[in-house]
Amino acid sequence: MTVLDLLPLSTTALVCLFCYLFFGILTVQQFRNAIPGSILLTIAGAFGVARALTVTGLADRLASSLLRCFSWMGGSGAAGIGFKGPLYALMVGASSDFSTPIGYQTNLMVSGPGGYRFLDYTRFGLPLQIIVAFITIPICVKYFA
């Protein structure tokens, strides 16, 4: 339903959940046990922080400060460097925190059930972050310079 743009993803997920419960594929207790409370609290806290950042105007001020940081480059950029490359690198870097369990949503979801320790993420995530950096930087230079 989501692929065909008939319903949003959240609505489709709820419809699937209710079908699972209605047809007995999943019991209410299994549903409760499937999602640890710490993950729900983290997600709820993130919504609260996001709302607070929006209501207080801090999110807008942070965004305008970020744009001011790159405004010295101008439209065409100083020394032939546009602002899109550094912003792209910043976006990739911000979404590539693989070295901690709280850096990425999936890491947080699998940390408890998988029995992973904090240093497991650092051991495997840090090399992945370095690989992403070595791929992102040349792409930014080639396509956005």
Per-residue model confidence as pLDDT tens digits over 97-117: 888 888 777 888 888 888 888
Give the total number of structural domains in the chain. 3
Beta carbons within 10 angstroms of residue 62's beta carbon: 11
On whether both 10 and 21 belong to a single domain, the answer is yes
Structure token pair of residue 121: 């993420």
Residue-level pLDDT, tens digit, the chain, 145 residues: 556 777 888 888 889 989 999 999 989 888 888 877 877 888 889 899 999 999 999 999 988 887 777 666 555 545 555 677 778 888 888 888 888 888 777 888 888 888 888 898 889 889 999 999 899 888 887 887 6
On whether both 42 and 81 belong to a single domain, the answer is no
What is the reported pTM? 0.49
Query: In this predicted structure, what is the pLDDT of residue 109?
Result: 80
What is the Cβ-side half-sphere exposure of residue 14, based on CA atoms within 13 angstroms? 5
On whether both 49 and 116 belong to a single domain, the answer is no
CA–CA distance, 109 with 114 (Å, rounded to integer): 9
User: Which of 48, 71, 94 lies at the terminal end of a domain, its last residue?
Assistant: 71
On whether both 60 and 104 belong to a single domain, the answer is no
On whether both 123 and 95 belong to a single domain, the answer is yes
On whether both 105 and 116 belong to a single domain, the answer is yes
Q: Residue 4 is part of which domain span?
A: 1-34
- Calculate Rg over the CA atoms of the chain: 21
Distances (CA, A) of 9 to 2, 13, 42, 103: 6, 6, 21, 23
Query: In this predicted structure, what is the pLDDT of residue 67?
Result: 73
Query: In this predicted structure, what is the pLDDT of residue 53?
Result: 92
Query: In this predicted structure, what is the pLDDT of residue 23?
Result: 93
Query: In this predicted structure, what is the pLDDT of residue 106?
Result: 81
